């Protein structure tokens, strides 16, 4: 599988790399060793150029990684800083990748380093919230093509069936409005005068027999970052008064058939309620791990590693946003290959 290289991928949530941690994580089939220095996060190719030991099995000393096998050290730019066996020469280096910490995540750029502009990082600024009990980060390792995980968010009609007791009940039959610009696709489902779902009721503002107006909006940033707003309020209330959750769903390819699923949820209500946060996040984690993950992995198994379009799927109007996202990914990869 060909991956997009000139883009920012989340390699870790910020709190996964603390102190002298060296995180080993493979992205787009490239093994990375990620660590933090006084100058911010650094990402190196996770294999010592000497005898190919994973650098992630070494330790951090003076902002360098010292290989755990024979003691060669490399700084965040990949240059050798210590060689217990003799002199240091310029050829002693390991590939480094641009890395930036932003929105409580560490991002890496696997393509042309000169194009690595942090302004291209998707706007996950809602994750910078100061209310520690109004946010929760999550991570799942998935055994499927990352694009199947992207499809899952771009077509939320699955919620009516897969998440029938929690998030579902209102997508099928609702018009999906899809908008597209150069680098994003936005899908929105709006409903008026609906019964609140189980999650809405759990918030405590509306009872089961109340009616609400609601909308759900997903924005996709090529190739694998999505933001999801789920908002609801009293009938005919302006949207600015809605209770809302905003989260990220980031499907970073590990290999052609495995994915790092990073997700977050923030909200604009009960922001200081630690107990509510705990229950809310544990419900979310349950849904993703026990409902989405097994289904997507079973789909991957049935598809046998063959690309979706090559399988000639029976696609429906409801697949519009997901298919447009896939076409956009393919377009970006094609353009990147033509340039190189």
Sites of contact with another protein (CB under 8 A): 309, 312-317, 319-320, 323-324
Residue 309 CB, nearest distance to another protein (Å)?
7
The structure tokens listed for 273 are 């309620």
Q: Which of 85, 317 has the CB closer to another protein?
A: 317
Contact 250, 138 (CB under 8 A): no
Residue 179 CB, nearest distance to another protein (Å)?
11
* DSSP bridge pairs for 24: 33
Q: Which of 124, 323 has the CB closer to another protein?
A: 323
Q: Which of 178, 198 has the CB closer to another protein?
A: 178
- Peptide bond connecting 203 to the previous residue in cis, omega within 30 degrees of 0: no
Contact 50, 67 (CB under 8 A): yes
Q: Using CB atoms within 10 A of its CB, is residue 87 exposed (0-12), middle (13-18) or buried (19+)?
A: exposed
Q: Which helix (H) or strand (E) holds 277?
A: helix 274-287
Q: Which of 85, 312 has the CB closer to another protein?
A: 312
Residue 189 CB, nearest distance to another protein (Å)?
15
Instruction: Show Cβ contacts of residue 137 under 8 Å, excluding neighbours closer than 6 positions.
Output: 13, 15, 104, 127, 262, 263, 264
Residue 153 CB, nearest distance to another protein (Å)?
17
Residue 163 CB, nearest distance to another protein (Å)?
23
Contact 187, 217 (CB under 8 A): yes
Instruction: Show Cβ contacts of residue 325 under 8 Å, excluding neighbours closer than 6 positions.
Output: 150, 151, 154, 185, 220
CA 135 distance to own-chain centroid: 15
What is the spatial distance between Cα 335 and Cα 282, in angstroms, rounded to a whole number?
41
What is the spatial distance between Cα 232 and Cα 246, in angstroms, rounded to a whole number?
12
Q: Which of 90, 175 has the CB closer to another protein?
A: 175
Q: Which of 99, 308 has the CB closer to another protein?
A: 308
Residue 184 CB, nearest distance to another protein (Å)?
16
Residue 175 CB, nearest distance to another protein (Å)?
8
Would you call 2 helix, strand, or coil by DSSP? Answer: coil
DSSP class per residue in 181-232:
-SSEEEEEEEEEEEPP-HHHHHHSSS-TT--EEEEEEEEEETTTEEEEEEEE
Q: Which of 188, 324 has the CB closer to another protein?
A: 324
DSSP at 175 = P
Residue 177 CB, nearest distance to another protein (Å)?
9
Q: Which of 64, 152 has the CB closer to another protein?
A: 152
């Amino acid at each position: 599988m060909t991956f997009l290289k000139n883009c920012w991928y989340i390699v870790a949530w910020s709190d996964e790399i603390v102190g002298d941690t060296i995180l080993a994580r493979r992205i787009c089939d490239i093994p990375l060793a990620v660590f933090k220095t006084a100058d911010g996060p650094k990402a190196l190719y996770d294999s010592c150029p000497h005898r190919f030991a994973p650098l992630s099995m070494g330790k951090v000393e003076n902002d360098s990684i010292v290989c755990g096998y024979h003691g060669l050290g490399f700084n965040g730019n990949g240059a050798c800083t210590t060689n217990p066996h003799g002199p240091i020469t310029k050829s002693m280096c390991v590939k480094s990748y641009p890395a930036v910490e932003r929105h409580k995540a560490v991002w890496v750029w696997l393509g042309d380093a000169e194009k690595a502009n942090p302004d291209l990082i998707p706007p996950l600024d809602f994750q910078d919230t100061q209310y520690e009990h109004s946010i929760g980060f999550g991570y799942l390792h998935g055994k499927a093509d990352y694009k199947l995980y992207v499809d899952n968010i771009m077509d939320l009609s699955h919620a009516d069936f897969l998440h029938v007791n929690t998030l579902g009940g209102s997508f099928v039959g609702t018009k999906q409005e899809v908008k597209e610009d150069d680098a994003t696709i936005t899908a929105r489902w709006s409903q008026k005068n609906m019964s609140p779902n189980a999650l809405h009721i759990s918030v405590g503002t509306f009872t089961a027999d109340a009616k609400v107006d609601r909308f759900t909006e997903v924005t996709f940033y090529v190739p694998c970052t999505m933001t999801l707003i789920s908002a609801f309020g009293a009938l005919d209330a302006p949207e600015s008064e809605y209770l809302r959750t905003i989260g990220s769903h980031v499907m970073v390819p590990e290999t052609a058939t495995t994915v790092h699923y990073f997700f977050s949820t923030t909200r604009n209500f009960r922001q200081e309620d630690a107990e509510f946060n705990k229950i809310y996040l544990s419900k979310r984690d349950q849904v993703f791990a026990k409902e989405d993950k097994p289904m997507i992995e079973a789909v991957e198994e049935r598809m046998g590693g063959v690309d979706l379009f090559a399988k000639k799927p029976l696609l429906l109007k409801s697949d519009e946003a997901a298919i447009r996202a896939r076409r956009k990914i393919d377009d970006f990869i094609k353009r990147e290959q033509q340039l190189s």
